[in-house]
């Protein structure tokens, strides 16, 4: 038996009508009969097409306030009957059940209703019953039936109808069934998460839209992104975004989310900041961010919280970088930046997500709340005899924002709103500090009067001793070590200020 099947009857019952007109026109032109309910039936008839009411087929009206419309053997028998099964053919003939070859249906907007802050009663009413049953039934019988489960599949259906008329192949029907089960599984996951709230015993995540990467972290690994990247960014120019680009872009947006509206520029490499500066203009911020590590900036990801103009673009254009992210660009700036054809230019439209984080581990997944804690001056506890000055407090908080978004063990050295250097990803906090000091000195920074931030407490006083010898005068860390008093005593004896936050910022 041929796997090509003719579409003779279509059941159409949708919440969203936009985009449907073209499909109905194509189906009608091929002599397809329509079966529908309520508002969709009226829409079909308004286009001048004949349409049978589901109520006339079943002999039952829509009841229970619309909760029961299509749930009837004459509807589901028409969808689920197997055309090559003799027993099925006999039964549909016996009960006068018409074959339904195409089902176009969508679901009540449950997630949008939840997001709107609607009442529990209104949310429950948006749990679709008939629609989800039609989707599952038609998808199960994909051997004979085409299922279109959302308006996102209107375009592929229209393409199929234009190419070959009202017929479908088994391959096409199976593809539509796969898409339909993606819709139904995502819908059920949203309902489960609503009922479970914060007490979920199971993890249910659905992300629509697969985006194939050129490769994963390395060329021999496949890589994919699931989600709607276009909701966060407009890509104005450049090559396809890679897997590693996305990791850096995520790190960059999370870092910039720590800062307010004061002009700030950051340069990242391998998910860590190698240059950050806050200044009274974005040009100065760029200049001082680059000065923090002009070597690592090569091939990096740049991010600004302010518009990029032509003057800034000309300075940025002097180095090679892969990605730039900003809220906007002037036309003149784009003319400069687009001189490199592969350079990725992104406009950030939404803030970085601040919800939960997920990570695959062993044969399962770890889930945690994002670290959204941002320390403020009133949260700092001065533990030394000498209190930090107002300028030092500004620098301590600045450094703390950077160390929070750096790989542990991490130490950040900063002064006057500029990242001098960081030691990151070290197995020893002492090594992280020594790395930061050596790096700062290699780029000619005078560390006298600089501050130090640590993502976790100091288990011994050795780090403050090394910092003091380098000229650092103020320290911020979470505190909490059983030997905190040793670090405090050293600071008191050597004129250093120390504050604790009580908040640890490990990052793996």
DSSP output for 192-249 = HHHHHGGG-SS-------EEE-S-SSSTTS--EEES-HHHHEEEEESSPPPHHHHHHH
Statement: residue 71 has pLDDT above 80: no
Beta bridge pairs of residue 276 = 266
Q: Is 224 exposed, middle or buried (0-12, 13-18, 19+ CB in 10 A)?
A: exposed
Statement: residue 1 has pLDDT above 60: no
Assess whether 140 carries a catalytic annotation: yes
Residue 310 confidence (pLDDT): 97
Instruction: State the pTM of this model.
Output: 0.85
Statement: residue 465 has pLDDT above 70: yes
Span 21-38, average pLDDT: 93
Statement: residue 60 has pLDDT above 80: no
Statement: residue 471 has pLDDT above 70: yes
Residue 161 confidence (pLDDT): 94
Span 137-141, average pLDDT: 95
Residue 130 confidence (pLDDT): 86
Among 52-56, 161-165, 485-489, whose mean pLDDT is lowest?
A: 52-56
Instruction: Report the C-alpha gap between 378 and 201 in whole angstroms.
Output: 38
Span 253-268, average pLDDT: 95
Span 162-189, average pLDDT: 94
Span 82-107, average pLDDT: 91
Sign of CA dihedral 393, 396, 398, 400: negative
DSSP letters spanning 272-328 = EEEEEEE-SSHHHHHHHHHHH-TTTTTTEEEEESS-B-HHHHHHHTTS-EEEEEES-
Candidates 426, 428, 402, 427; CA nearest to 413 is 402
Statement: residue 468 has pLDDT above 70: yes
Statement: residue 203 has pLDDT above 80: yes
Residue 17 confidence (pLDDT): 87
User: Of the listed 140, 151, 237, 284, which one is catalytic?
Assistant: 140
Statement: residue 354 has pLDDT above 80: no
Residue 2 confidence (pLDDT): 67
Sign of CA dihedral 410, 413, 414, 419: negative
Span 379-398, average pLDDT: 96
Residue 307 confidence (pLDDT): 97
Confidence of residue 279 (pLDDT cuts 50, 70, 90): very high
Assess whether 33 carries a catalytic annotation: no
Helix (H, G, I), strand (E, B) or coil at 378: helix
Span 233-241, average pLDDT: 95
Candidates 443, 438, 485; CA nearest to 464 is 485
Statement: residue 166 has pLDDT above 60: yes
Confidence of residue 377 (pLDDT cuts 50, 70, 90): very high
What average pLDDT is seen over the chain? 92
Confidence of residue 432 (pLDDT cuts 50, 70, 90): very high
Confidence of residue 350 (pLDDT cuts 50, 70, 90): confident
User: Of the listed 17, 270, 284, 494, which one is catalytic?
Assistant: 270
Statement: residue 143 has pLDDT above 60: yes
Q: What percent of the chain has pLDDT over 70?
A: 99
Residue 141 confidence (pLDDT): 95
Instruction: Report the C-alpha gap between 369 and 354 in whole angstroms.
Output: 8
């Amino acid at each position: 038996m041929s796997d090509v099947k003719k579409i003779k009857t279509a059941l159409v019952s949708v919440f969203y009508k936009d985009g449907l007109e073209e499909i109905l026109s194509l189906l009608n032109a091929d002599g397809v009969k329509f079966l529908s309910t309520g508002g969709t039936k009226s829409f079909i008839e308004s286009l001048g097409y004949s349409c049978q009411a589901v109520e006339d087929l079943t002999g039952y009206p829509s009841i229970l306030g619309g909760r029961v419309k299509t749930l009837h053997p004459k509807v589901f028998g028409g969808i689920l009957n197997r055309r090559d099964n003799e027993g099925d053919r006999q039964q549909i003939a016996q009960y006068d059940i018409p074959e339904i070859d195409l089902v176009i249906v969508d679901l009540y907007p449950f997630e949008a209703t939840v997001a709107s802050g609607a009442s529990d009663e209104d949310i429950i009413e948006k749990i679709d019953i008939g629609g989800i049953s039609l989707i599952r039934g038609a998808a199960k019988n994909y051997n004979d039936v085409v299922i279109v489960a959302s308006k996102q599949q209107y375009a592929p259906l229209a393409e199929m109808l234009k190419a070959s008329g009202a017929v479908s192949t088994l391959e096409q029907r199976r593809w539509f069934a796969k898409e339909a089960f993606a819709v139904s599984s995502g819908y059920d996951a949203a309902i489960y998460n609503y009922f479970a709230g914060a007490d979920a015993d199971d993890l249910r995540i659905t992300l629509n839209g697969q985006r194939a990467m050129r490769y994963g972290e390395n060329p021999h690994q496949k890589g994919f992104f699931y989600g709607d990247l276009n909701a966060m960014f407009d890509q104005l120019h450049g090559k396809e975004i890679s897997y590693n680009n996305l990791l850096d872009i995520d790190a960059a947006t999370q870092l910039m989310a720590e800062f307010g509206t004061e002009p700030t520029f950051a340069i990242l490499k391998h998910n860590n900041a190698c240059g950050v500066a806050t200044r009274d203009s974005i040009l100065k911020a760029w200049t001082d961010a680059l000065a923090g590590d002009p070597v690592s900036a090569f091939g990096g990801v740049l991010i600004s919280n302010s518009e990029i103009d032509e003057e800034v673009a000309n300075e940025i254009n002097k180095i090679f970088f892969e990605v730039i992210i900003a809220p906007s660009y002037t036309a003149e700036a784009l003319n400069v930046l687009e001189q490199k054809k592969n350079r990725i230019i992104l406009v950030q439209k939404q803030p970085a997500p601040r919800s939960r984080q997920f990570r695959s581990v062993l044969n399962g997944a770890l889930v945690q709340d994002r670290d959204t804690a941002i320390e403020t001056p009133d949260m700092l506890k001065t533990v030394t005899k000498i209190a930090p000055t107002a300028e030092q407090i500004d620098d301590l908080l600045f450094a703390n924002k950077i160390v929070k978004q750096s790989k542990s063990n991490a130490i950040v050295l900063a002064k006057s709103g500029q990242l001098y250097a960081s030691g990151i990803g070290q197995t020893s906090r002492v090594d992280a500090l020594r790395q930061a000091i050596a790096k700062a000195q290699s780029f000619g920074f005078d560390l006298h009067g600089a501050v130090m931030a640590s993502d976790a407490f100091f288990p011994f006083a050795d780090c403050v001793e090394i910092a003091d010898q380098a000229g650092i005068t103020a320290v911020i860390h979470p505190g909490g070590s059983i030997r905190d008093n040793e670090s405090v005593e050293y600071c008191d004896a050597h004129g250093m200020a120390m504050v604790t936050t009580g908040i640890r910022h490990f990052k793996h």
